[in-house]
Amino acid sequence: MGTMNKMRENTGVVLWILVVSFGGLWVLQDSGVFDTIGTNPLGEIIVVDGDPITNEEYQNQLDAQLEQIRQSTGGEAVQPQQLDAERERAFNVLVDNKIREHEMERLGITVSDREVQELITGLDPHPVIKASFGDGQGGVDRAYLQSFIDDPEQEPLLIQFEQYIRVDRRRQKFENLLGSTVRISDEDIEDEYYRTNKRASAEFFFLRYATIRDDSVDLSDRDLRRFYDDNREDFKQERLYSIQLASLSKLPTQDDTLSIYREIDIVRPEFEQTQDDSLFLARNGSERPYTSAFFAANELDLEIAEAIFDGSSPIEAGTILAPVTVGDEVHLIKIVETRPAEATTVRARHILFRADENDAEAVAAARQEAQTFKQRLQNGEDFAQLAIDRSDDPGSGARGGDLGWFGPGRMVEPFADAAFGASIGRVVGPIQTQYGMHLIEVTNRAEVDVRIADFSQRLEASIASLNAVSEKLEDLKYYAEEESEDFTGEAERREIPLQDMQMQHGQTTIPGLGVSRSLAQFLETSDVGDISEVIELNEVYIVTRVVSIQPEGYRSFEDVKTEIRPRALLEKKKAMQRERMEQAYAAGGFDGLANALGMVARAANNLSFTNQLVPGLGRDALFAGTVLGLAQGEDSGVVEGANGVFVARVTGVTEPAPITDAERERLRTVLLNRQKGTVQRQWIASLREEADIEDMRAVFLQ
C-alpha cells in the first residue's frame, strides 16, 4: 500500500510536468485533471458556435496557468497586470480548444477504447505511463503498473490517465492530419543549409545618420506635410475613445513605510548579535537569502554600494549600515567580511561630445568643445548640470553623467585607461573613443570586496490601505452613476486626480500606467457616459468614464505634426547622408571613397544571416543580406541601412561544405516541424475568423 500512496501523491505532479513538456495546456480542461467530480457548472461565460464554456472550465484553465507561473517563479505572487493577461490567454486557449474539438468532430477524428488500452499496457506505452511507472532504465515497471490498474482505490486516477491519453492521442491525430499536408523538398533543405552556413567578409564605408545634429537640418512645414501625405496609412486609427481616468496609487503610504522601518528597528539588535546570518535571514523572511559570495562594488545595487563604499568610515566586519531603500525594498546591510579586491572598481561620470571617429572635421570640433567645457568645470561650474544640459549620452546625461561602478573590461580601452588612472575628483580629458570625446571625473574607488548579509523587506501597502483606496474609487463610481451624474465633480470632492486621455479600439497599453485588457474590453462595448468598474493595475487602481467616441479614420495632420517631426527629421538626415555618399561614389567608385569622405574603410568579418553585427553600424540585417548576396570583389553601391548609409565591397566568401546525410535529415525535421506549426496556427486562425464567439465574462464575472 505504500507504493499506492506514493502513486496517489505523485500523479498530479507527473501530469503537470508532462502537460508543460508537451506544450498542451489546451488539453487540461478536457482531460479533467483539475475537475472536481460531481460539481455543477457555474454558468456559461463563453460560447463558441453555440457550444458553451462554463465559468468552472474557465477558472480551471486560469488556475492551471497561474499555478504554472507560480512554479516557475518560486511561488511569487502574480501581479494584477499579469493576471489580466493570463485571463485573456485562458480565454484564447479555451476558444481554440473548442474550435479544434469542433473540427475534429467534423473530420471524424476519434480514439477508441482499444487504442487507449494499448497506450497504457501495450508494447510502446504513452509517455505519461513511462514517466509515472518507469523502471529506472527507460522502460515500464509492468508489475507496478498492473498493481495500480488492479487496485480499486486507484480507479479515479486511472480514469484521469485514460482521459488524458485519449485527449492527447486525439490531438496527435489532428496534428498529424494537418502535418500530412506539409512537404519539404531537397531544394528547401539545401536552401536553408546554404542560407545558414554561408559566410562573407567585406570592407565598407558608412555615414551614420545620428552624426548630423538636429539643429543643422532645415525641416519646414512643407516637409512635414509631404511626409504626412507619403505615409498617410501610418496615421490610420481605429475607433478612438476620449476618456477621463481616475487613479489612486497602490504604493505604500507613509504609515505603511514607517511600520516597515519600525519592524526593521525591532529586529536590528538581534541581527547585529546573531552568529548565524543565514538562519536569521530565513527565519525573519528576508526577500534576499544569505549568500557566502564576495561582491565587488559594481556587483551590488548602486544604493547599497554607495552606502558601503561612501568613504566616510572604514569598511569593517560586523558593521551594520543605516537602512537603504532600493526600489520597493528596504535593506539592512551587515558587513560580514572583507578582502582585497580581485580588481579595483571605480565610479565615474562623464560628458560625451559625440563625433564619428572617421570624420576628422567632426572629431576636431568635438575636441574643441570638450576643451571649452573642461575650462568651465575648472572655473567651478557643476559637472552634473553640464552633463544634463550637454552630454550626447542620453542615459548617463539624465543622471548628471553618472555611469555607476565599473571594473576592468566594462568600458572601451581609452576610456578605461583614463578612468582607472585618474585621481578621485579630478576631471580628465578630452579622451577620444569610437563614440566621440569624453570629459571624465572619477567620484569613488573601491579596492576591497565584501561579503554581506542583506536583510531586505518589501515596501508594500497594507491590506487596510489597499481596501481604503479601492473603496474610495468604488464610491466615486457609485455617486457619479446613481446620485450626481457628475464624474468630474465627484472626483474633485474626493481629491482623486483625473487624467484626460485617448485610447484606440483594442489598445491595451494605458500611457504611463501599464497594460490593461480589462479596460480595452470595457471600452469595446461602452457608450458615451459609461463608467468602468474599478480596475486593478500593478501600481494603481483606476476607474474611467467615456467622454466621447470617434469613429475610425485618419488622424489629421495637426494632430500628428509633433509625432511626425522626428521621423521626418530622420528621413532628411538619410537623404543628406545618401546624397553625400552618392556624390563621393560617383566621383571615384569604391576606391575613391577614402579620399572623398576623409575616412578609412572599416572591415566586417564572418557575416552570416545569424551574425548581422556590423562594426560601427550595430545589428543591420540589410547590410548582412546585401553582402551575402554579392560575389567576391563586387560592391553594393549606395545603400540605406538601419543606422547609416553604406557602400560595401566583398573581400571574401566562404561557401558551406557539402551537406552531409545526417545534417540533411536534421534540417528536414527542423523545417518540417516549423512548417507544421505554421500550418496549424494558420488553420486555427482561419477557423477562428469564421467562428461565432460570444464573450460574456464581463457580465458574468462582475
DSSP track, 25-80: GGGHHHHTTTPPTT-----EEEEETTEEEEHHHHHHHHHHHHHHHHHHTTSPPPPH
What is the per-residue burial (b if ≥16 Cβ within 10 Å, else e) of 51-60?
Answer: eebbbbbbeb
- pLDDT for 78: 83
Q: For the segment 548-598, what is each residue's pLDDT rounded down to a tens digit?
A: 999 988 888 998 999 999 999 999 999 999 999 999 999 999 999 999 999
Q: Is the pLDDT of residue 4 over 90?
A: no
End-to-end CA distance of the chain: 47
Q: How far apart are CA 330 and CA 429, in angstroms?
A: 38
Give the length of the chain: 702
pLDDT band at 635, cuts 50/70/90? very high
Judged by average pLDDT, the poorest of 76-85, 107-116, 257-266, 335-344 is: 76-85
| 701: CB partners within 8 A, 6+ apart | 45, 55
- pLDDT for 245: 96
pLDDT average, residue stretch 125-149 = 89
Opening angle at CA 315, ends 310 and 321, nearest 5: 70
- pLDDT for 664: 93
- pLDDT for 699: 63
Q: Is the pLDDT of residue 532 over 70?
A: yes
- pLDDT for 165: 92
* 424 compared with 74, residue with greater pLDDT: 424
Closest CA to 473 of 543, 547, 539: 543
* H/E run at residue 417: helix 413-421
> Hunting for cell 483594442 — which residue is that?
506
Residues above pLDDT 90, as percent of the chain:
59
pLDDT average, residue stretch 95-112 = 92
Q: Is the pLDDT of residue 40 over 60?
A: no
Q: Is the pLDDT of residue 35 over 60?
A: no
> Hunting for cell 468598474 — which residue is that?
533
Q: Is the pLDDT of residue 205 over 50?
A: yes
pLDDT average, residue stretch 103-132 = 92
- pLDDT for 33: 42
Q: Which structural domains are found in the chain, ordered by start?
A: 2-179 (no CATH), 199-234+558-654 (3.10.50), 239-251+463-551 (3.10.50), 253-460 (3.10.50.40)
Q: Is the pLDDT of residue 197 over 50?
A: yes
Closest CA to 401 of 373, 363, 361, 379: 373
Average pLDDT value over all residues in the chain: 88
Amino acid at 243: I
Q: Is the pLDDT of residue 634 over 90?
A: yes
pLDDT band at 519, cuts 50/70/90? very high
* 521 compared with 6, residue with greater pLDDT: 521
Q: Is the pLDDT of residue 41 over 60?
A: no
Total-model pTM: 0.62
Q: Is the pLDDT of residue 299 over 70?
A: yes
- pLDDT for 646: 95
Q: For the segment 141-188, what is each residue's pLDDT rounded down to a tens digit?
A: 999 999 999 998 889 889 988 998 998 999 889 888 888 888 899 999
17: helix, strand or coil: helix
Q: Is the pLDDT of residue 266 over 80?
A: yes
Q: What is the DSSP string of 540-609?
A: EEEEEEEEEEE-SEE--HHHHHHHHHHHHHHHHHHHHHHHHHHHHHHHHTGGGHHHHHT---EEEEEE-S
Q: Is the pLDDT of residue 32 over 60?
A: no
Q: How far apart are CA 356 and CA 362, in angstroms?
A: 7
Amino acid at 448: V
* H/E run at residue 144: helix 142-150
- pLDDT for 657: 92
Q: How far apart are CA 402 and CA 398, in angstroms?
A: 9
Closest CA to 652 of 625, 635, 633: 633
pLDDT band at 336, cuts 50/70/90? very high
Cell representation of residue 324: 537603504
- pLDDT for 700: 58
